[in-house]
Each structure stands twice: as C-alpha cells, then as structure tokens.
Structure 1
Amino acid sequence: MSLVRPEYPRPHFDRSHAWTSLNGAWDFARDGERGPWSEQIVVPFAWETEASGVGAHWLEYGWYRREISVPRDWAGQRVVLHFGAVHHLATVWVNGVSVGEHEGGYTPFEFDITDALDGGSDAMVMVRVWAPADKREIVHGKQRSIPRDDYDDCAFTPSSGIWQPVWLEARPATHVSGVALAPADTLDAITATVSVAGPHSVGARVEVGISGISGIVGASSVTVEVTDPTAPLQVTLPIDAPRRWSPDDPHLYEVEVRLESADGTDRVASSTGLRRVEVRGDQILLNGERLYVRGVLDQGYWPRTGITAPDDEAFVTDLELARTDGFNLVRKHLKLEDPRFLHHADRLGMLVWAEPASTGIFTPDSVARFEAQIEPMVRRDGNHPSIVIWGLYNEEWGLDWDVVADPAKQEAVRRAYEQLKELDPSRPAVDNSGWSHVATDLVDWHIYDETPAGWAAKMRALLDEGAESFPVGLGPGRVVDKVLMAAKSGPTPELPNLNSEFGGGKTSVERGWNLRWQTLELRRRDMLSGYVWTELYDIEHEMAGIHTFHREDKDTGANRPDATNADTVVVPELSPVAPGRDVVGVRPGGEVAFDVRISHHGGSAVEAAVLPAWSAALGDYDADAVSEIARGGGPWLQNTVKVHPFRLSEPLRITETMPADRAAARLHLLVVAAGRIIGSTVVDVTG
C-alpha cells in the first residue's frame, strides 16, 4: 500500500525531527471483544467510508490493532502515541497495558506509552472505539444520528472511528508542552507563551526565537530559566521591519523553542502572523482597516473519504476554489478541521471562521461535552492568523431551538461565550450563529429564500425597517420568527451586522442567479460587515454548492461567482424576473433603461464610470474590444461618479438599445476607473 496521508500532521506544534506515521493498514474487528481480526482498515478513514476498505454503517464498536516499531535512535526518549481525532470514545492499550481513554470525536489526544513498551522497541497497539448510533448528546456536527436530530434533513453519513492521523513522537522526559503565539498590539513583535513539563523542569533553560534557515536567529531570541514549572513562561520577540499578515501578503514568522534540561534537548516549532482583528462599533477591522467578509460555507466532506481529506492537496484545492470564486473567508462549519487545513489557510492568505461540532439536544451532559471542546480548540488552533472569527453554537442546535424562552439555555450560551473570550480575547466570537444572540461580538443572521424578490423583502424588513425578528422555515408549512437578541427587546446593539448563511434556488442555474442578485442586494447596504454563501460544494444529498461534490464546476447559468464576490460590483436598481430574464418586455431595437450604483470595497476612493457592452444571451463580451474602448474613452465616460470605499455611490443612469438582431441578449455593466475594468455585473434582457 502506498503511503496514506504521509505529511507531518501537526504543523502548529512541530516536532517533526522525531516522528513516525502510523497511518495505513490496521487489523480491524467489528463489535465483539478484541477480535476476530478478520478485516483490515485503512487509517485515518472512518469505517463508514469507501477509502477505509470497511464500509460499515451504524456499527457502534470497532477494534483496531497494529504492530509498531520504535526507531532505535529514540533510545532514552519518552515515546508518545498521538491521535488527531477519533469519533467518539477511544480506549487504548499497548502490549495489553491500558494507557488511556479519550472522549470527544474532534479533539486531539496523546498518551506516553514508554512504560508500556517495557524497554522494547516493538509493541502491539490496540484501540477500541465506541461510536453510538444515538449521537444527540455527544458532539457530532453534521453526522446523522438514530434516533434523528431535529436537523436530520441537512445531516450526512456518520464518520466513526479514527478519522485523523495517528503517529508516534519522541521527546525528553522534560519537554515543551505548549507554545501559544500572539502578535503584539503594535504588530511589531510576537509574544510567545511557553509551557514546560517533566521531572527536571526547574532550572531548565528555554530559548525562544524567530527561526531562520539555520535555526534560531540570535538577534531575535530570548533565553529564560524555568523557576516555577506551574507557570508558563512569556517572552516577547521584537521584529525589525515587520510584515503584517493579510490575505494580500500572508507572511508567516516561524518561531522555534529549544529546551535544555538534565533530560536532554527538546525542540518545537510553530508559526504565526502579525495581524490584528478587532471590533470597533459596527465594523470589523483587520490591521486597522475595515474588513468586509465575503465568505463561503465549507463543511469539510469528501466523496470517498467522509470528513477526512483524501490527501493534503485536497485542502489546497478547496481553499483555491474559494479564492477563485471571489471569496476571502471560509466558514468551516460545525467541525474542528484537520490542522493541515489551517496551515494551508495561513500560508495562502484565506480568512477562516472556525467553530466546534454541535450536539443534538439540550441536557447537562450535552452542554458539558460541547463546552469541553472550547479549550482544546483554542489551544490547538489559536496560533493561526487565518482564524479571524470564532463560532460556538449554530442555530440553537443542541439547545432545542428555544433560547429565547429558556433562561437555562441562555446561560449555557453565555457561559460558552465567556469561556471562549477568557481563553482568547483577541478575536471576535459569535455565541449562537444565525439566530437569537445572548452574548456576542457579531450580530449575524441566517435567512434563506428561493427568489431575489422574496429575499429583498426580507432584507428591507430586517435592515431598513428595523425589525427585531425574521422568519425561519423549520419544515413544510412551519415558519417561526427568530428574534436577533434573546436577552432583551429593542434595537440591535451597535455591533458588526452580517449574514452568515444564505442562498436559494432548486437548480444550479437558479442558485447561480440567486448568488448574483441576493449578494447584490446585500451590497446595497453599507452598514453590513459581510456575508457567507451556502455553500462551496455539494455534499451527498445536499445540492446547494457552487461546485459538485467532486469539486467540479456546475452550471450556474453563466453567473460568475468571482464577479459577484469582487471588491467592486455594479448594483442595478431593478427587480429581476427569472434566470436569463432579468428584464423582460424589451423587443429587438427597443430601449432598456435603469439606474445603477457602484459598491466599492477597495482601499481608496475611485473616479469611475459604467461601460455597457452587449453580448449574446448568457455570453461574454469581446474582452479585447471592450478593453480598447475602456482605455480610449467615449460618450459613456462623461457619466462618472466618485466612489468611496464602503459607501454606495450616487446613481448612474443606464440607457441602452437592445441589439436589433436578437430577441435575448446579455448587457454587461463594467466599472472603469483610470482606463481599467475593476468590477462588473450583468443584466439579461429578453422580449
């Protein structure tokens, strides 16, 4: 068998100089007690998946077994067995000796197995996994449950067992146990908080520095001695000529920690970026500049491999798809994703909204399990500059859809928010995404509608008329109003306001059309801080993606996502009729007239005009001819307007004659500034 997921699995806490992968074929047994070992399973793929080689559904117990061989040059080191994630309850033995148990299907865990090896280098590792069919009281995100969750219609095939990499590492008995990195408020230094564990911690020397090609760069390193092993060390590393991390320049600083003790030398590396995300009034700021979220929902599923990426490149593919579609943020939905995803988001400059998995019902046990994810989430992922928003609950899942009426549920939401903010005050956090908020840094809302006209009416009520609630469909014939703020009535507090789930249309053509018109409806309103489209790709029965489950392009009716999600767009002042028929009743040679405005999210104001260009129905314009016109000017250039960032322009009148030889045509509206096309949209016109 070729190597399975061979890349180092923990780039945020890199000890890759002393590791070995345990991915690949393991013996496998269903149910029973430690056998019979009649099958093999490919780790790290859930046992429901084709890639695992097992394909077992609604199996509640699975047993794994594998022989391991510890490298000889690890002699004198402690040997640690790591699991990226196992759903849901894992019990582990080495050479028949119990080494530990872990509950929680999305958080990493490790066991020091040195004593169980008893001085030998070869051993048998055995893992028992319990993955209950009834998942309602455990964290399971979008995995289906029997009995069903209330949200079963948007749930997918369960993913049970080992679903993230398994590996061994060697480290000294006294070792680095944690490295938390944070940029200084002034964005010219990195603060490193280092934890040390082991029998000879007192007196150990820790050197922390920005790492270069040949190791720690001396001028930017700090050395301290451990005096109290219960208190983490905190050092500040100043940076000359600092480069700020941003989507346009995702510059990362590598930080290396070197520990010297009586037990030997330990080395760990991590990375972060110099960036600051903050809420100021009703705006989100990134490095002091306004951030408008153009996001897309990414649920982290793949056709043959479930919630495990088939290979490391799959993460890059999804991030690049999002960027190609014009998005600047990915909302990784109800899933603590594999750390490799965040590693690639950091280096590629894609912003991330990260959130834990949900439970299904409201009980003391389910609340405790949900909250148990928060500290591991921040500890594992807090160094990543790509994460700019933390999420918590989603649409009251795990809260029985009843936050407003129940103080106990409000208290659970508030407690989760306060726990998260105490651990990481540096990022905005959303308490209960999309529905009724209790304590939050962002006021977000989820509204779905099948038509631009219906969507526009809901936007007017919520954003223009000050409605305190909005309609949510909970099933056929059942619509309820969800108030924005659960804890009080009255105006929404002055916080950033954004949509974080929307979309509509039963076919891919309708959805492409709605992506254009519903997004432009949002761009009419300067007070908003952004949106999150649902979603990047189809998953199983859910056909809401811009792309197929296999990440292929879908027929969007020639509505380009990258034009809709651009920094600069044209917002026509009209109500579209249907896909391919935005404006109807115009005969060949007839006149079409309407106003447009320009929405511009660039860094500075521009003097712009709108250049009209006709093409065949659903077709594209002649790029060479139009570029020449844009550079040369013409009558259209006399109709210009100054467009300020995040301020909808004054209207411009578009008056055009339908091509005489066509019963249907596409009118391209191109924003031209300084002879260059910087944005566009289209209007489809028919008789």
Structure 2
Amino acid sequence: MNTPRPDYPRPHFDRSSRWLNLNGDWDFAPDPSDDGLPAAWHSAWPAGAESATIVVPFPWEHPDSGVVAHWLPVAWYRRRIDRPAEWADQRTILHFGAVHHHATVWVNGQPAVEHEGGYLPFEADITDQLDDGAGTLVVRVEAPTDKRFIPHGKQRSMPADDYDGCAFSPSSGIWQTVWLEPRPAEYISELTLRPTPELDGIEVSVVGPSPVRIEIPGVAVHEFEDVTGPVTLPIPEPRLWSPEDPHLYDVVVTAGEDTVRGYTGLRRIEWQGNNLLLNGVPTYVRGALDQGFWPTGGHTAPTDDALRRDLELAREAGFNLVRKHLKLEDPRWLYWADKLGMLVWAEPPSTGRFTPAAVAAFEAVTAGMVERDGNHPSIVIWGAYNEEWGLDWDVPGDPAKQDAVRRAYRIIRDADPSRPIVDNSGWAHVETDLVDWHYYDENVGSWASVVDRLVNTADGSFPVRLGPDFVATKTIAAPGFDPADRIQLNGEYGGGSTSVERGWHLRWQTQELRRHPRNAGYIFTELYDIEHETVGIYTYDRRPKDLGGTVPSDVHAETTLIIDVTPQAPGRDVVVGEETPETDAVVAGNPRDGGGVVGEESDGAGVVAGEAPGRELAGRATVPVRVSHCGREPLVGTLHWATGDAPVEAKPFVVTDPVDVVATPGRLELWVTDASGGVVARTFVDITMH
C-alpha cells in the first residue's frame, strides 16, 4: 500500500534530506468509556483490538481513515517505529503536524510528550526511549464532544455551539502527517524570514548554535560567527513576489552541524486610505471563503494535489485571495499558495463560549498561528475573532469582551507588524487595521441600499438574521472605536438557495460591491459546498455548478461591467411591457493597457449608444471607451478610465461615466475588449416581457 500524504509536511522549515514518514496503517482502539489510562493501554494493548486499524493522518469520523466513528471522545493509536541505522549518531525527533485535540504520547511505555490544542505542531526527542533504535509508539487522543470551550472552528460540538447551523462533522484524532527526522544535539529551533521594508533583501533571524552560514542559492553566501538578532541579506536586482510573478527565494541556514532550508518572497503589504497596497500597487481584494473540508477526509485533504487544486479552482473562478476560514490549514496548502501566487487571509479556529480558559486557549492558538505561518509571503491579512464567536455575541455591551478582542489584535501586532489585521471579522470592531462587515440578504434591492449606506456614510449598522424569526441589528464599530480612517471591505456575502439563484446573486451582489470606489474588496461565501451547506461555486467534490449562465470568472475578473438596474429574479433581471428598456452600464476594475470598447449582442437586436455613437453592425454596435494607464502591465488595482473625451480623475477603482444601453427582450450580452481585441469584462442581462 502506498503511504498516504507522502510529501514532506513542513516545506517552510525543511530537513527533508533525511526524514521518515509514519503515515499509513496504525493499530486503533476506540475508548468511549475512557478505560485506557487506568488499564495502562500504553504498555499493554487492549485484548481484542489487535486487528482494528486506522489510516493516519485522516480523522476517525471520515471514510479515508477506514474507521468512520462519530462522537467518539477518546481513542488510542499504536505502531512500530524503526530508526534508520544511519541516524545512530543523531537525536531522533518525533513530529506531529496536528492532532485534535489532546494528545499523550508514549514510546516503549515511557512518556514522550503531551500536547493540548488541535491545530498546532508539536515534537518530542525520543532518542532515549528507543531500544536499539526501535520502539512501539502509542498515542492517546482525547477529542471532547463538547468543544465549546476549546478552539475548534467549524467542527460541530455536542452540546451545540450557537453557530451549529453552519458547523460540520468534526475531525478528531491525528489529522496531519506524523514523521521522524534526525538532528544534532545542538540544532536550529527557529528560522524567521521577512523581506526588508525596501524590498531589497531578506531579514533573517536564527535561533541555534554558532557559527552560522546563510546561503541564498544563486545570489550570495554570508557567514557569521554569531547571530544574536536579525541580520539583513541584501539581494541585488531583487525580483518581487506577486500574484502575477510569485517568485520565491530559497534560504539555506547551517548553524553548527544542523542545516535547515526555508524560503520567502519579497513583497510588502500596506494599508492606506481606501486601499490595500501590494508592493505599492493598490490591490482590490476579490476573495473566496474556504473552510478547508474534504468529502472523505474532513479537515485532511486526500492528497497534496488536492490542496494545490483548491487554489487553482479559486484562481479559475476569478479570485485573487482566499480567506481560510476558522482553521489553521495544513502548511502544504500555504506552500502552494506561495508557489501559485494566491493571496491568503489567515485566521485561527474559534471557540464557542466566553470563559477565561477559552480566551487563553484562543490566544495561544492565535500566537501559534503567527509563529508557524509568518514566513509565508502569500499571507497578506491576519484575522483574529470572527463575528464575536467565542465572545457570546456581545462585544459592544461588555468591556471584558472588548478587551479580549483588543488583546488578540495586539498579540498578532506584536509578533508581526508587517501585515494588516482584522480584529473581529464582520461585526463590532475594537482595534483593527481593516474594517470589514458581513451582510447576507436575499433581496437584491435592499442589499444594494444597505451596501451603499455602509460604504458611503457614517452609519455602520446593518441587519443580521440569527434565526428564522430573529433579526438583530449589528454595527461595524464597538463603543469608542472610530472606523472612519480605516480601510473598509466586505468580509462575507452571498445569497440564494439553489445553484441558479446562487449564480444570480453572485452576479448582482458582486457588482454592487464593485460599484463603490471606497470599498476595498470582498469575500464571497463560498468556494465549494460542505455537507448540508450548498452555497459554493463548486460542489463538495469540487465539480462546477450550473449557475444559470453566470460565469464566476467574469464576475470576479479584474475588470467588470456594472448594469444600473434593480433585478427582479433569476431569468428575469428586467421585466418590461411594450416600451424599450433603457439603462446605464459602467465599467469598474483593473484595466489592461490601451483602449477598449463596450459592446452588446442580443440575437440581432439591440443598440448601445453613448457620447460617441457606435458603429452599427448586424445586431451589434460599439461605443469607444478609452483607457489611460500608468505603470507596469497589468497595474493591479488601479483604474484610469474615460468615456469620449472626458477623462476621469485618476485614483484607484474609479468607474466610468455611464454608457446608455438600449435593448429588446432576450439575453443582452455586454463585454469590454482591450486594444488587441481581448475580452477583459463580460456580463449579461435577462430581459423578459410581462
């Protein structure tokens, strides 16, 4: 049998020249009555359990594990380990990528390590427990069914969280790779890599023995007698990391007898006025919510290719950012985001209730998130809390909960001042760099009016449906916080029960978000379906859906067309009588270099007109649209459009003046082409007669 998940699990801190993957079949003993500790199962495996196995690293609730055990609070794992003979002069280190939730580990009956928290890695030096390089490894895992007071994100709890309606099957037990690797007695324990503020080098921090040799392959080699703080390694002719060119620099550090390989990218994230800037370029966020579940593996992807493919699917749908929601994802996923150039909003798993212990556990995983993942250039936003989950939905009314939000923000800020932070995504902000809001509405008309009010006025209140008959009013600011000088963006949105309705809302709600230059971006809920939640662009097994003609990559393209109507229903965007419908179309987004045209086509009928009347063709007409553009091509996030001879003020995300559109019933197709004839924006309007 092939070893599942065979790839080296920690590419950002790489000792893969010598390692041993322990994934595969392990002995497995469910312990629902928690008899194992008093019966010393770590020394004497329970009778009758010899033939039961589980496939590591898949959670025991899910088919890929071979077990499928639900609401099992405790279970035990066992396997034999054999240290390679060539490691005899080194220490043998046992690594766990992540185990949910409380793991206790023995080797040859002797305690090795204990770890609590289901999302962070841990390790143990087991050299002294091995017998001539061999041993029996036993792991006891406690996965409480009541998860409300521990970080667990979207895993379902019993008793239920207040947000149980949008939670899913738990992922208990060992859910990331387990492996062995050798290292010397004195070793590199930390490697922190950050680009210099000027993007002309790499700041390297190493914790380990001396002397230290640091090589950037193909660039330079630096040697230091001792490294007590960050050192700067200059890079001549630096090549920046961006979604268009995700260039990475390898960094090889040798300290004493130990060698570790890491990597980073040269990029800078800033937040100014209404804009996020990537390497100084205003960047409009076109994001998807991704909760990190798979149909047969829960939290664990079936293969490394599956991790990469999810990012490719997001890119194919037009997104430039993925918000990994309430989960510290497998580091291999972040590796692929770095390699592919996908921007990432990272955030920790939430708890369900507000207690001192729950807050402490949340703060521990939040600090661990930055420590584990801070080297990844793809991460451009850190998140902390989400919608006051774990805060009993009462931040505005409770100073203690406001203090908890403020502390989480400052934990991240103190560890990494280089990235913007969202303190409490969606609802009452306390101390934050980005002000986001979550608003769901099935009525496109009221959606548009609330979005306009949130973006363009000081009124930060909006309705939130918390139950079938319960609508609460939420606000974007807690008492004492002024959001006026912060970047604002949508953190979640979407609507529709069926796929066709979903596509309709995707098209119309997104255009409203892109209508307003002050809005810096959005996060669509969501990339794919999960279990009972069928609101994805893709199905749970990542197949495309029939979205009623809506093409996600058109909706989320750099440049988009905005049609100035209030749509009626799927298939009936505009309903008319005998009169000819007229409306306005404007263009918003990120242009290609050169000029372009707005066009329409509707079964041989229809005209588009503007300040410069179009040349009528057989069922098609065009209106010139001139694009002025400065900087590199494409200049992501900056728009300088003009219609006719009237230039538009040059600033990010300005939309064109309206172009009049006249059409007859049918599907009116609209698109924009660049100077070479390539289509850069496309949409449609369904017009019917009543």
Normalised by the length of structure 2, the TM-score is 0.91
2:153 matches 1:141 = yes
Q: 1:594-638: per-residue Cα shift (whole Å, max 9, x none)?
A: 11111022376x544311112599xxxxxxxxxx999xx966338
Q: Which amino acid aligns with 1:112?
A: D
Q: Which amino acid aligns with 1:133?
A: T
The match for 2:401 among 409, 426, 446 is: 409
Partner in structure 2 of residue 340 of structure 1: 332
The match for 1:101 among 87, 110, 114 is: 114
Report the CA distance between 1:210 and its aligned residue: 0.4
Partner in structure 2 of residue 625 of structure 1: none
Gap regions ≥5 residues in structure 2 = 606-614, 626-642
Task: After TM superposition, list the pairs within 5 Å mapping 1:470-489 onto structure 2.
Answer: 470-488=462-480
2:339 matches 1:353 = no
2:10 matches 1:10 = yes
Partner in structure 1 of residue 610 of structure 2: none
For the 8 Å contact 2:563–2:584, the answer to whether it is kept is yes
For the 8 Å contact 2:206–2:229, the answer to whether it is kept is yes
Quote the Cα distance in structure 2 between the aligned partners of 1:535 and 1:382.
25
The match for 1:653 among 625, 650, 660 is: 660
Alignment coverage as a number of residue pairs: 644
Task: After TM superposition, list the pairs within 5 Å mapping 1:268-347 onto structure 2.
Answer: 268-347=260-339
For the 8 Å contact 1:188–1:240, the answer to whether it is kept is yes
Quote the Cα distance in structure 1 between the aligned partners of 2:86 and 2:358.
45
For the 8 Å contact 2:600–2:621, the answer to whether it is kept is no
Quote the Cα distance in structure 2 between the aligned partners of 1:629 and 1:176.
70
Q: 1:273-305: per-residue Cα shift (whole Å, max 9, x none)?
A: 000001123321100010110000000000011
Partner in structure 2 of residue 602 of structure 1: 591
The match for 2:86 among 59, 63, 73 is: 73
For the 8 Å contact 2:592–2:674, the answer to whether it is kept is no
The match for 2:516 among 517, 521, 525 is: 525
Q: Which amino acid aligns with 1:651?
A: P
For the 8 Å contact 1:570–1:670, the answer to whether it is kept is yes
For the 8 Å contact 1:612–1:668, the answer to whether it is kept is yes
Which has the larger displacement, 298-307 or 633-642? 633-642
Report the CA distance between 1:586 and its aligned residue: 5.2
Counterpart secondary structure, 1:322 = helix
Quote the Cα distance in structure 2 between the aligned partners of 1:609 and 1:48.
54
Partner in structure 1 of residue 612 of structure 2: none
1:616–1:256 distance in 2 versus 1, CA, 3 Å: farther
2:654 matches 1:679 = no
Q: Which amino acid aligns with 2:367?
A: E
Partner in structure 2 of residue 182 of structure 1: 194
Please report the RMSD computed on the Cα atoms of aligned residues, expressed in angstroms.
1.9
Partner in structure 2 of residue 562 of structure 1: 553
Partner in structure 1 of residue 492 of structure 2: 501
Quote the Cα distance in structure 1 between the aligned partners of 2:544 and 2:419.
34
For the 8 Å contact 1:615–1:668, the answer to whether it is kept is no
Which has the larger displacement, 247-256 or 449-458? 449-458
The match for 1:365 among 357, 362, 374 is: 357
The match for 1:48 among 48, 53, 61 is: 61
Counterpart secondary structure, 2:64 = coil
For the 8 Å contact 2:199–2:240, the answer to whether it is kept is yes
Counterpart secondary structure, 2:333 = helix
Quote the Cα distance in structure 1 between the aligned partners of 2:591 and 2:431.
32
Report the CA distance between 1:642 and its aligned residue: 5.0
Partner in structure 2 of residue 252 of structure 1: 248
Task: After TM superposition, list the pairs within 5 Å mapping 1:190-201 onto structure 2.
Answer: 190-196=202-208, 201=209
Gap regions ≥5 residues in structure 1 = 618-627, 659-663
Quote the Cα distance in structure 2 between the aligned partners of 1:90 and 1:520.
48
Report the CA distance between 1:477 and its aligned residue: 1.2
Q: 1:109-134: per-residue Cα shift (whole Å, max 9, x none)?
A: 0011111115x111100000000111
Counterpart secondary structure, 2:660 = strand
Quote the Cα distance in structure 1 between the aligned partners of 2:623 and 2:233.
55
The match for 1:492 among 480, 483, 490 is: 483
Partner in structure 2 of residue 436 of structure 1: 428
Counterpart secondary structure, 2:624 = helix
Normalised by the length of structure 1, the TM-score is 0.91
The match for 2:142 among 103, 124, 130 is: 130
Task: After TM superposition, list the pairs within 5 Å mapping 1:598-637 onto structure 2.
Answer: 598-602=587-591, 607-615=595-603, 636-637=623-624
2:238 matches 1:236 = no
Report the CA distance between 1:461 and its aligned residue: 2.7
Partner in structure 2 of residue 209 of structure 1: 215
Q: 1:330-389: per-residue Cα shift (whole Å, max 9, x none)?
A: 000000000000000000000000011000000000000000012221121111100000
The match for 1:459 among 425, 448, 451 is: 451
Q: Which amino acid aligns with 1:614?
A: S
Quote the Cα distance in structure 2 between the aligned partners of 1:300 and 1:492.
31
Quote the Cα distance in structure 2 between the aligned partners of 1:681 and 1:386.
30
Quote the Cα distance in structure 1 between the aligned partners of 2:230 and 2:469.
57
Counterpart secondary structure, 2:300 = coil
Q: 1:63-90: per-residue Cα shift (whole Å, max 9, x none)?
A: 0000001011101101000000000000
For the 8 Å contact 1:452–1:517, the answer to whether it is kept is yes
Which has the larger displacement, 28-37 or 55-64? 28-37
For the 8 Å contact 1:374–1:420, the answer to whether it is kept is yes
Task: After TM superposition, list the pairs within 5 Å mapping 1:567-606 onto structure 2.
Answer: 567-585=558-576, 591-602=580-591
Counterpart secondary structure, 1:323 = helix
Partner in structure 2 of residue 665 of structure 1: 666
Quote the Cα distance in structure 1 between the aligned partners of 2:58 and 2:221.
41
2:505 matches 1:514 = yes
The share of aligned pairs that are identical, in percent, is 55
Q: Which amino acid aligns with 1:514?
A: H
Quote the Cα distance in structure 2 between the aligned partners of 1:170 and 1:637.
66
1:6–1:629 distance in 2 versus 1, CA, 3 Å: farther
For the 8 Å contact 1:29–1:62, the answer to whether it is kept is yes
Counterpart secondary structure, 2:63 = coil
Partner in structure 2 of residue 622 of structure 1: none
Counterpart secondary structure, 2:12 = helix
For the 8 Å contact 1:616–1:666, the answer to whether it is kept is no
Q: 1:288-327: per-residue Cα shift (whole Å, max 9, x none)?
A: 0101100000000000110000000001111011001000
Quote the Cα distance in structure 2 between the aligned partners of 1:468 and 1:375.
30
For the 8 Å contact 2:148–2:157, the answer to whether it is kept is yes
Report the CA distance between 1:233 and its aligned residue: 3.8
Q: Which amino acid aligns with 1:254?
A: D
